[in-house]
Amino acid sequence: MKFVLLGPPGAGKGTQAANLSKRYGIPAISTGHIIRQAIEAGTEVGRLAADYIERGQLVPDETVIALVRGRLREPDTQHGYILDGFPRTVAQAEQMEKLGIQVDKVIDIAVEDEVLVERLSGRRECKACGATYHVVYNPPVREGVCDVCGEPLSMRDDDTPDVIRKRLAVYHKQTQPLQAFYRQRGKLYTVNGQEKVEDTTTLVLAAAEE
């Protein structure tokens, strides 16, 4: 299966991508995580992207598309994949179609803006493997340590209130139109992302199997 996870910043795309990945044995590909790794590594793409991320803006389409194309050439994507955070503009989705990048289902995780600010402020992330936690709603077994790989957890630089507000505005303007784009193609499945993490997981898995 080939999934796209859609939703605003903090909706739970990364959290649910990990669950779908376990369930289907296919990789979860987060463009945000790939870009943050490029920034950490100081690559040319990373240097270009850093400025956009700090301002809560989207990285240019052609840069992100090139990253995704490169990642989808890796052998672990042969039996399917979960795209978390891509496409994020109608232009990216149209380009995907032109390039023959397939999508079976688009699962849209719906959460109100007020809930998202609290979620993102309490988020902790593992820079090494990309696993995501929340200090209250989804804590790691050992405080400050990743359950998956044992590396330390940290806050993301773009999880400050000011940048969160900008990311939400960008989402409504540039990403939300993708709902209509995929609805027209009969691929959109919307789930309520305001339930507890495990209840949202049940809804996401049900949508995936529908």
Active-site residues, by number, are 13, 88, 123, 156, 167
Which residue of 167, 188, 189, 207 would you call a contact of ligand AP5, by CB under 6 A?
167
- β-pairing, 123-126 with 2-6? unpaired
Nearer to ligand AP5, 5 or 26 (CB): 5
DSSP state of 19: H
Where are any strands of DSSP class E within 146-208? 153-154, 188-192
- Within 43-89, residue ranges assigned H as helices are 44-54, 61-72
Task: Return the residues of window 107-166 that contact ligand AP5 according to CB under 6 A.
Answer: 119-120, 122-123, 132-134, 137-138
Phi, psi values for residue 125, rounded to 5°: -130, 150
Select the residue whose beta carbon is closest to ligand AP5 and give its number: 32
User: How many residues sit close enough to ligand AP5 to count as binding (CB under 6 A)?
Assistant: 39
Q: Distance (Å, rounded) from C-alpha 30 to C-alpha 28?
A: 6
Tell me which H or E stretch contains 83. Answer: strand 81-84
Q: Give the shortest CB-48-to-ligand AP5 separation in angstroms.
A: 11
Contacts of 66 (CB under 8 A, 6+ apart): none
Note whether 28 binds ligand AP5 by CB under 6 A.
no
Note whether 39 binds ligand AP5 by CB under 6 A.
no
* Residue where the block lists tokens 């795209």: 83
Q: Give the shortest CB-76-to-ligand AP5 separation in angstroms.
A: 20
| Burial letters 76-92, b for 16+ CB under 10 A, else e | eeeebbbbbbbbbbeeb
Task: Return the residues of window 45-104 that contact ligand AP5 according to CB under 6 A.
Answer: 52-53, 56-59, 64, 85-88, 92
Which residue of 20, 31, 45, 191 would you call a contact of ligand AP5, by CB under 6 A?
31
Note whether 10 binds ligand AP5 by CB under 6 A.
yes
**Could you give the count of Cα atoms lying within 13 Å of 176 in the half-sphere of its Cβ?**
14
Which residue of 15, 19, 21, 95 would you call a contact of ligand AP5, by CB under 6 A?
15
Nearer to ligand AP5, 71 or 167 (CB): 167
Which residues bind to ligand AP5, rule: CB under 6 A?
A: 7, 9-15, 30-32, 35, 52-53, 56-59, 64, 85-88, 92, 119-120, 122-123, 132-134, 137-138, 167, 193, 195-197, 200
